Chain A
Amino acid sequence: MEKPNNHQTGGALGTPIPLVNLARYEVDARVITDMAIYRRELEQLWARSWLLLGHDSEIPRSGDYMIRYMGDDAVIVTRDRDDQIQVMLNACTHRGMAVCRAEMGRANTFICPYHGWTFGLDGRLKMTPVANQRMEGNLLSRQELGLKKARVGIFCGMIFATFDGGAPPLEEFLGDAAWYLRLMYDRSGNGLEVLGPPQRWLIDGNWKLAAEQFVGGDAYHVMTLHRSIFEMGLIGNVADITADEAPGAMGWDIAFPEGHSFRCAPMDFSPIFGKERAEKMTAREKLLALPPPGMTPALVEEMFTRFDDEQLQMMADRPPTVGGLFPNVGTHNFLWPHPDGGILGAAYGLHAFIPRGPDRVEWWNWQLVEKDAPKELKDRIAETCIMAVGPTGMLEADDGECWPFMQRVAKGAEAGRGVTGVIKYHAMIGENRPGDWPPSAGGTVSEGFSKDDGQWAFWRRYNELMGDGAGE
């Protein structure tokens, strides 16, 4: 079958339509609504990317399993008898029934409820009833009839998988983003654990509406969409984000050719310690005085043994707070106060945006805590995380408000034409990496007010994967 190229996928009208206009920094709004484009994404993008499925603390013991999604495909994630994490398609090789219908649990085998084909935790076909009737027939061997396996990669406890045997290793897929990712999720010896199963909720909008904001590290929307949070003085005040200067919106966008990006925010210790003292404080002093979100001074001491001086300086002065991994992962780690006072809380965790057709996305939210954090801190984060993020979060409830309305707009014939018909990323900074940015920290660094650089990295990568062989 002839592969259409990326300039013709909107071809229902028979005219070439560039989806991503690299010269003009524009995206055709049709990528939001078109079923043909969605199908192409499943083949070209989802099937070729490393995808986040969860955290290894969700299935801590041998025999634990959970159902997760890779694009439109349901997979079973297990911890097998050898303590290895396995990912396999949740589809019986016989007639295609889902062999596992519980969302989590513990098992020795998966027995297809339809005809009883029985698979091991590693996906091998163990038996078919009735043994002496050989119901698997003679065309294929039992070895060939195991559940379809995916390649698995673990990074900072995060479980990734891909069905693409030709995809580069996970480390290569993450690229230089791994350096920043470790700052967010690899701070302590014993690592992180989830507070429980993820929140899940459905939004009547295309997955990319959510993904370009998170994966692209959009900080520009904060001053309007999340203005209520500043009106309430929760993480700054309205003066910080005034339309003329917006000093609170300054920072660094870091974008990567793999499509990932992060937003680093400046830490100012002078309100706490006074300007003179703050200027003299070392990175270690700062990190002990105000531990990064979700940490304690004891855990900070562990961080000192894991990170080098450049990493510690970055953590103290310019930590990554939000961002994401291509194609559909959101990352966040920022402080969040509790109105009852007491220890500081945090919003700490991971998002994934699971496609459910061109006009629907399922949002997943995992909350993370340091395994070795004291119970009081874990309990506090179990309160503050969902004050900020998730469907009830005072930040993200407003994010969810935009996408269904954008989806409805994109369906209109008139809205699909002319100036409105393209989604715009015209406000680019480009690379202006500060002289004191750590040499070991990669990526394209854009300093200043948050503009469109991170999101454009998402669309560049999207264009590569959706194009005709480009990006390979």
Chain B
Amino acid sequence: MSDAQLFVNAPEVPLDSPDRIRATDPTYWQLHEFLNDEAALLDADQLLQWLELTADDVRYRMPVRVGVHRGFGDGFARRMYFYNDTKKVLAMRIHRLVGTRNGWVEDPPSRTSRFVTGVRAYTSDKPEEFVVHSKLLLTRSRSDLGEVKLLSAHRLDRLRRQGGDIKLANRDIYLDQTTINMHNMAVFL
């Protein structure tokens, strides 16, 4: 069976790894604070400021998922995404929303809240980079409909110390949903 070729698994959860940065370590809280801060910027529609928190070589991906039986992995597509962006693509998406007059999808903007939890941090093969897992719940309210749309995901990030700052160097977003319950998506997770 070569079904492993078809799909990618969700990231592993190494609780006892020697690389783990425990919550008693101040580094853990610096990384945690970064995730809270960037979520706050996105919630506040400060998209250009958020873009500044990404590294120039950032890769931002959200693969398509399908539900498969146990034994077939976690059903994440290898080469089919919702986002598969470099920094210039992220910048282009953001420019369309804030720099043109016709980014209808987010004008008026959605009202969003990002709830970040389940943060686990690890050292990596590079001394300046950290592997950080988090869970994200995104709520999105649009127009005057009472209904709130939800997206939930596991995020696997690489965060990099750069000068005195922390930058997002890589983000893989592993959705829970196969079918996204939103009519479009120009918000970042």
Q: Which residues of A contact B (CB under 8 A)?
A: 101-106, 194-205, 224-229, 231-232, 338-340, 362, 367, 378-379, 382-383, 386-387, 390-392, 394, 396-401, 403-405
Contact = CB atoms under 8 A, between A and B. Distances in A.
B182 A202 contact: yes
Nearest to A61: B2
A204 B183 CA distance: 7
Top 7 closest A-B pairs, CB basis? A196-B80, A196-B77, A400-B184, A339-B88, A397-B184, A227-B102, A228-B102
Contacts of B86: 339-340, 383
A226 B81 CA distance: 22
Given A232-B95, A339-B92, A195 B184 contact: no
Given A199-B82, A199-B180, A383-B86, 17 more contacts: A103-B67, A103-B178, A197-B64, A197-B80, A201-B182, A202-B182, A231-B101, A232-B92, A232-B95, A338-B89, A362-B179, A382-B81, A386-B82, A387-B92, A392-B185, A401-B104, A401-B184
Contacts of B184: 201, 391-392, 396-401
B100 interface: yes
A445 B177 CA distance: 42
Contacts of B180: 199-202, 391
Nearest to B181: A202
Interface residues of B, number: 44
Given A339-B89, A367-B80, A386-B81, A403 B3 contact: no
Contacts of B78: 196
A391 B102 contact: no
B3 A106 contact: yes
Contacts of B80: 194-199, 367, 382
Given A105-B69, A199-B82, A382-B79, A391 B64 contact: no
20 contacts: A102-B67, A102-B72, A196-B79, A198-B80, A201-B182, A202-B181, A203-B183, A205-B183, A229-B96, A231-B102, A232-B100, A339-B89, A362-B179, A383-B84, A386-B81, A386-B84, A391-B184, A392-B185, A397-B186, A401-B104
For the residues of B in contact with A, the DSSP-based class is mixed
A202 B182 CA distance: 6
Contacts of A231: 100-102
B103 interface: yes
B82 A382 contact: no
B154 to A, nearest CB: 19
Contacts of A205: 183
Contact of A394 (B63, B67, B93): B93
B15 interface: no
A378 B103 CA distance: 28
Interface string B119-160: 000000000000000000000000100000000000000000
Contacts of A232: 92, 95-96, 100
B83 interface: yes
A397 B83 contact: no
Contacts of B72: 102, 105-106
B120 to A, nearest CB: 27
Given A228-B103, A382-B79, A103 B66 contact: yes
Contacts of B183: 201-205, 391, 400-401, 403-404
A106 B179 contact: no
Given A196-B80, A231-B100, A383-B84, A104 B105 contact: no
A394 B185 contact: no
B1 interface: yes
Contact of B84 (A106, A382, A391): A382
Contacts of A394: 92-93, 96
B94 to A, nearest CB: 11
A103 B7 CA distance: 13
Contacts of A229: 96
Contacts of A397: 105, 184-186
B113 to A, nearest CB: 20
A164 to B, nearest CB: 27
